[in-house]
Amino acid sequence: AKAKAKASGKSKQDEEVEGWDWAGVGGIWKRCICWLDYRELLIHNLAPERFVEDSIQEACRMIPMTIRITGYSQCPIPPGSTIRPLPTIHVEGESIGSDHSQHDVRKIKGTVGMISDGAIRWSLSDSKVSSATASSASEWSSEAVQIGGPGAAMGLLGMWTGAMHERPDPLGEC
């Protein structure tokens, strides 16, 4: 692939390169989100034996998410290897913020790349759209692994948490 520099001062890794959708990223995905109410989660952390009770209730939502590829960047050759990894795929898109409101639009952006064991890693963040042309700062972030390998449409398995990793976030401070 022939490299094309995005801007001066960028590292070799940040240079834009030619690529293709080797991971099957582009398109419409259905995001299934499940969570416990934070108050219940805190109670269960203090009394782990309560996780086996039948009274635990999760909230579950199916949220459609549209993903478009915006570019590709080169990955460094891992130490001890002579093979260059597949390019990192840069993405953006939209989803709704809730299954209760089709008008609560969220902007999504992130990257998809292959990690050393061959798994496909998705790193995404999402933010509310604050006006017709702009979005606010990232509110949620996600790290996930694509199930089934490159091009598989089986889905992703991962975790969403607050993008700023603040104390009240699901994963807490970092």
Structural contact between residues 108 and 123, judged by C-beta atoms closer than 8 angstroms: no
User: What is the mean pLDDT of the segment spanning 8-22?
Assistant: 71
Candidates 78, 108, 73, 109; CA nearest to 88 is 73
Give the residue, 91 or 64, on which the prediction is more confident.
91
β-partners of residue 77 are none
CA 29 to chain centre: 12
- φ and ψ of 115, to 5 deg: -95, 175
Q: Which long-range contacts (CB under 8 A, 24 or more apart) does 124-127 make?
A: 124/91, 125/163, 126/95, 127/163
Q: What percent of the chain has pLDDT over 90?
A: 27
pLDDT at 101: 65
pLDDT class of 42 with cuts at 50, 70, 90: confident
Give the separation between CA 103 and CA 4, rounded to whole angstroms: 38
pLDDT at 159: 83
pLDDT digits (tens, 9 = 90+) for 109-164: 999 999 878 889 999 998 877 665 555 778 888 899 999 988 888 888 988 877 77
pTM listed for this prediction: 0.76
